[in-house]
Amino acid sequence: MSAHSYRFTHAICRLPGASIVQGLRAVDTGAPDLALMRAHHADYVAALRSTGAAVTVLDPLEDFPDAVFVEDTALCLPQGAVVMRPGAPSRLGEAAEMAPHLAAFYDEVARIEGPGTIEGGDILMCETEILVGRSARTDAAGIADLAGIVARWGWTLREVATPPGVLHFKTDCSLLDEETILSTRRLSATGCFDGYRVIDVADGEEAAANTIRFNDLVLMPAGFPRTRDRLEAAGYAVHEIGNSECAKLDGGMSCLSLRFSPPVKA
């Protein structure tokens, strides 16, 4: 197996800007502290780089308060990239901002043309299939558009459901390796991961479900010791990153990067 679902040569991140205090949030628990968020972001980028990956860090986009959450703007596959069409109106323009950066790595950059919407946070790229959770941000038309694009590259897309009241499908799950998913119990109980080995996050630690497997590391938000212990007991090399400020905007580990291994350009 190539492990293309978690072994990557590259990542793209974007620094948070001062406008982050206006970022979208389901429940207002206060504005994020920009200095602390920048410190957490620097730790995150350093952790990605520590695996040997080349990480591009883009400048802040002050016109788009949520632009630090680059994952929602694109899906990067071994064969090509797809520019998303975010369902949050304030985030629509972020996707176009990302397109030229993808074109630097990929000959083929497709895009979701609309009117459907789809955000990267609802897409779990597994080794042999792509799971997409329908959500308040990702609708049937957006999923159909993506299915058509990735079918050209030989991928099967399976539509699943993001739990009600949960922002994105991946808010509640992460891929750990070819056969293993970390999930909240409310999501794994739906049966959408049947056929996979599932590690449930500890009860009361649902916010730990959004991690990323990136090369040999599993990056997870700090502060969830029982889930961390479960991951370590299962043999994963866990690296904790502060996430207190992103969490105020419903963001986590996966949101902060696009992870990919681009084909060698012709």
Among candidate residues 41, 101, 168, 239, the one labeled active-site is 168
- Residue 76 designated active-site: no
For ligand CIR, give the closer residue by CB, 119 or 177: 119
- Residue 255 designated active-site: yes
Does 72 interact with ligand CIR (rule: CB under 6 A)? yes
Give me the amino acid identity at 4: H
Residue 202 near residue 228 (C-beta atoms within 8 A): no
Spell out the alpha helix ranges (H) of the chain: 34-50, 92-103, 140-151, 185-188, 225-233, 244-247
Which position among 249, 258, 259, 260 is part of the footprint of ligand CIR (CB under 6 A)?
249
For ligand CIR, give the closer residue by CB, 180 or 257: 257
Where are any strands of DSSP class E within 90-215?
109-111, 123-125, 130-134, 157-161, 173-177, 180-183, 197-200, 212-214
Does 172 interact with ligand CIR (rule: CB under 6 A)? no
Does 231 interact with ligand CIR (rule: CB under 6 A)? no
Q: What is the dihedral of CA 71, 176, 156, 257, to 10 degrees?
A: 10
Q: Which residues pair with 125 in a beta bridge?
A: 130
For ligand CIR, give the closer residue by CB, 168 or 213: 168
Among candidate residues 13, 76, 126, 255, the one labeled active-site is 255
Contacts with ligand CIR, residue ranges (CB under 6 A): 23-25, 66, 69, 71-72, 88, 91, 120-121, 167-168, 171, 249-251, 254-255
